[in-house]
Structure 1
């Protein structure tokens, strides 16, 4: 799904824009009401397909500042600016009047995203389907014709073929495209399943290669997790998906063993510019693995359960913006759509139902997933810790909160003391306090 970042401080107008954009373009809309919040989104989510903003929001020159930020980071994201901004003259930026009609904004957004009038009427997939360029690092032969997209004029794009079906290529070619800012290739919508099948096969071969370079393994493991989530949410638990999940979970363990300290693991994740979802799962696995070694009932069997739990607990959440939500207060105050709020609120339940059908899943892990936000039924986030939660759930909840604090802190400014004070005020029951004492002994860089 394409993602649109919408910046507007008028809540009612923002809701109307969001509703119409989602309805007619088929895109997800991330709503923010200030420059600072929009900048935070662009820092943590690297797959924004379009930015729609007023030239000025709350008296700030939001359009110009976001454009400047993108230029400074060598990112190319199309923009639609409502109002005048003389400091921008770029083919990738379109302007409309500040009081432009809703219809004009939606139509231009749809054109920019490659959605045709027929697509808007039927909500079909656009003729050309975007696939992350990084996926192609895992294959050596193009499974179909592959294109890159160039903007010709407002809302109009030219698709240039860069890989021919059957063409053999080296990974260096894909790296060159990525270094030049090509984050997505495009394929005919009829070929997208062919591409995911080829990438899945290539990933399986790569992740089972014991001689794979450490950084290459980290990148391939992230793609494996991302592709597994995509295929689960679109195709369900097929045999192919189960095999991909199994090798990806094992590769996560290898990544952790390749990074004996938290400092080294964080450095490698930052170097690879990993997604929030991947960093989140990998770090939780790392922390729970350390805690499991400290408790008297810890074992390799428990480690397997915790690794499985870390991989699958957010598997139904399809983008970082949703994974970042970690409390009922954050969910209630978020500006995501009502459908997304429902998805986040029941993601523990949905993931547990999915894992209950998973062949050879660790015994009882579906219940652990159901309870991982403290609610026994898997709906919502707890405000009152249950006394009968499993010790494994207690360990996981503390590790997840700790990881969220690490990832949400500005780089180099994580405050361990304040984090522990915050966690101790939240987790007052004895089983949690014991885990917190163990967590304090985990060295943080």
Structure 2
């Protein structure tokens, strides 16, 4: 029985890519920013080799890392969750998904408003916490939906749960998803419900993403088509619009995601357990919360020994990220950064430095190779470089 646990630390970038300035991200380094906090402590990831990765200098490298590791380059043109995860799973995106720095076209919003039966407020790039502070009162008084975006390819709809029931908000998001096609094929339509009284509105955990279907074959498709389990923990199901996934477990945040991952190390299955830990991005990166980011990384690090203890002979644990979101820069948006790839397990060649790899898709290619599935995706398998024997 062979298992891979692939954990995405959402937005934990490790330094600017050469083209970062083109994205407005010169100087971004998410991991380094978090490491400056007194709450930052990652001794277990340090032992695995996190600080031995090319260009990672915010903590000392260790002489004998216990894992294999690499610095991953994003081949796709973008820096968002959808494109990052798609590339991990084997799809490189040659052009970025559409963004709307000036808001969405009025004819599109007019049709959306007609179909949902409600007017629209805002229609600008906005912080998710600030938009409900600034528009929440008018929304509650009028019932109009708060529609906003960000630097990412997203169409976000915020509504008070007492004004627009959650299921109605989800229906409205599905309508938006149907409309957002062709040149307006945004990566995600996101339901952003909130509760509370003015001015103290708070977002709830009933967020739901309605993603664009991947435009080609992914690692998930290939695994499930060949009879392997693909277990999605956290927002993985949403990112891939459910495609290629055999079991989905939704979570309320990092703590629950870590707990579910540990649970699955104790279960029998044959295939991939794909985990996304979203709090780094949603709670800390986008809110420029350096201390929260550092605490989150420390929490993950403390769980590493228990996750490793659950690995069986032949299992692999892979830890990576999908983009950056430096909490120390003026921007509250994602940043164009390299990402880490840590590969650990009983049969991994400890201390192997794969250097700087050209695409996140090498992760998906390596996983397919591990399971003996002929590759139909972008990327090059690194399996022969990282494990000591075949199974």
Note whether the superposition's TM-score is higher than 0.5.
Answer: no
Q: Which structure carries more relative contact order (alpha carbon 8 Å, separation 6+)?
A: 2
Larger Cα-atom Rg: 1
Structure with more of its chain in strand, by fraction: 2
